[in-house]
Amino acid sequence: MNEKNSKDDTLAKEDVINCRKSAERGDVMSQTRLGEMYFYGKGVSQNYVEALKWLLKAAEQGHVEAYYTLGCMYEEGKGVARDLAEAAKWFRKAGEH
């Protein structure tokens, strides 16, 4: 690993730590971002259970991006049973905003 990759990894870890702290304090943007990090495996190991947890918290606060990503989870059956009706519900909520 070269110096740039090591520095990027350190920054990514710090970003995840800071994002988690804000998410735990109830910041909806951070909850959505953390959920998406877990969903896509960016900066953290992919974990659909954690993704669902954080995205639902953000969705409870009305965050459009959380609605959309939840729709993707249900459409693709990632971390949840594939359910096109449930996916449509979340996509519809996103579209209404």
Angle between helices 64-76 and 28-40 (to 10 degrees): 20
Classify domain 3-96 at the CATH superfamily level: Tetratricopeptide repeat domain (1.25.40.10)
- pTM value is 0.86
Predicted pLDDT at 12: 73
For residue range 33-54, list pLDDT tens digits in order. Answer: 999 999 999 889 999 999 999 9
CA gap 52, 69 in Å, rounded: 9
Coil, strand or helix at 82: coil
Higher pLDDT residue, 5 or 58? Answer: 58
